Structure 1
Amino acid sequence: MKKLLTVFGLIAILFLLSTQVTIFVIPPIGILPEGKTLVISRLNKTNFIDSADSMCERLQGNVNLLCRAMSMGTVVKIAKVYARLPYSEWLYLISTGGKKYDK
């Protein structure tokens, strides 16, 4: 019984966490050649796992350098950053639905 309660408790915590934070992936680009993964507060236009490229694709229908820079700038400026982690291509591909965009 204790194990079952522990499992349900962990599931509830993970669910609540996924509604309050975003894992925001910044791919390697000219200004940040190593890339970054940020754990940030959830914004109204972000998904649980998101990136500037996926936001541009979702909101504009395409990805370009201007949109990418504006998305990253807005997210970093507005959201509270809880953690800075190394770049994860796996998370980036999840955020873009498996698409990889040019640098």
Structure 2
Amino acid sequence: MDRSQLIEQIKKVIREKDANADAWLFGSRARGDSRADSDWDVLILVENKAITNEIEDKFRGPLYDLELETGEIISTFIYPKKIWDRDLIFSPLYKSIKKEGIRL
């Protein structure tokens, strides 16, 4: 599976689990300086007020299945949209994703 196919599969999983979620690819895969063994860093933003185990499992289970299918490592970071856009705007992660991230 090539890069664009994997990105489409990641987007599909996220849309199927939560059509209102926003997702961003970030890190070396977004910057274009990845190696063959680099992971795929994916930020998922949801409308929920807090992130529960159920919410994490809803995304991470199917994405883990995709990892097994493709042999690629997908690292997910899940945050409520309001917390991301309010409390984390000064964090290095927020700044990095806003600068280099690719919206999925």
- TM-score, normalised via structure 1 length: 0.31
Q: Highest CA radius of gyration, 1 or 2?
A: 1
Which structure's relative contact order is higher, taking Cα pairs within 8 Å and 6+ residues apart?
2
